[in-house]
Chain A
Amino acid sequence: MSILFAILFYAATAILVFGLAYRIRKYIKTPAPLKIPTTPAPTSTPGVAFRMIKEITIFESLFKSNKWIWLFGWLFHFGMLLVLLRHLRYFTDPVWWWVSLLQPFGKYASIAMLVGLGGLLLRRIVVDRVRYISAPSDYLMLLLIIGIGATGALMTFVTHTDIVTLKSYMLGLMVFDIRTMPTDTILVIHLSLVILLMAIFPISKLLHAPGVFFSPTRNQVDNPREKRHISAWAIKLESSK
């Protein structure tokens, strides 16, 4: 079991890292030949940075468009962020002070995360417009993350797992030293789902995470009159003009 999971972990991490690197490289390499920021857009780089920060932290555009999706989406993402940060304690020794500080919040964040996910799933089923646009994978993805969150919360609030052994296993993994992993069912399910999620990340809609940083409508400075903005393939057309 310990060895199997070690292999799976390494494989999933490799897929995640290389898959994402491949996608991101593609986004960087693909030119954006025309300026297309959605206006009113900032006219300077700091302005764009501020716009992006607002998008990423408070989901500004989503807030403008739909308060329910915003609420559920925000609960989910920020619950998840806290939960993930809390998980750092399994990978660090000694545990960083701010991670310890986060522990009590991180615990309840898992509930916020589940509420958010539940809300999103409910909307997908109940609202005819959202049902119409949903593919099976859209439901499965939600169920997958709900599964991860629910098993995690179970271990926090109901049946605790052997944290000390788990931590030692995780720390071992990071230095390629495979130790014993606790084998209670909930933990095994939890970890399997996480591994699955990591592996499908680079080929799924989870690509929205890197995608948002590369979205030309959001990350471009509104200065086309001041600056000429010509891409490599467009220069080739130039020579023939």
Chain B
Amino acid sequence: MFLVIFLYIAFLAFIGFSLKKAYDFAKMPMHGRWELYPVPKEKGRGEYGGSYLEETKWYEKPRETSLVAEIIDMAKEIIFIKKLFDNQRPFWWLSYSMHLGIYAMIAWLVLLFLAVFIDSSLLNGLIALAGGAGIIMVMIGSIGLLIKRMVNPEFKMYTTGLEYFNLFFLFAVAFTGFLCFITDPMFQYGHDMMGSMLTFFPFAPSALVTLHLVLAGAVIIYIPLTKMSHYVGKFFSFHKVLWDNDPYLPGNEIAEKVAAGKSYKQKGQWSAPHYPGNQKIEN
């Protein structure tokens, strides 16, 4: 029962910490424009990297954006990690394996949830497939990345102790999961866990399953506290910085924010001599 409560806490912590991170970014002051093209939402221009600034008197013309183009671009990135695929193929194989494995594990959880209500051998097969493939992919990806970072001088030079630890932690979860999988290929323990989580009926996992689930819970709590929470960062980097090209136009939302920002009284001051009041008085 403690395990079930711990898993609930882990999921809630994951959601809570991730939302807190997103909230912290969202409440930051409006930043200066720092867009970078291509901006996919630019209707008819996103493909080649154009923008509304290619028009004369653009400020008098309606802004044309395409949510579909933006979603397609995002989907390519989320599903395939396209930029990595295009520009850094050797790294992509490992990173993609790990990420795809994580997606498969999320699918595994959803399928287990459905299996509580639907008794289907197809569903059970899919659970075994998603869980097995997911755990193997996370395991290969995490150990592959760990080894790559340890032996390739280019990567080793930039990798910190914490980054090794993060990969090792993911590997430990995947490895214990793999051991569970080979002893229980149809994931009976997964069905039991999900059933117990929904009914609060105790379930009695083996020592190995307990170890795996404790580690999994811990990593779920840990991820949003580290830079592995880049699923949050990535949203803000693209949507709120690189693709944020909304202009100031009198009366628009940006103008309102600019006006509101003007009332802010700065408390600190930079110290260089060209700032007002910082000039040294020469005797």
Q: Does A associate with B in a complex?
A: no
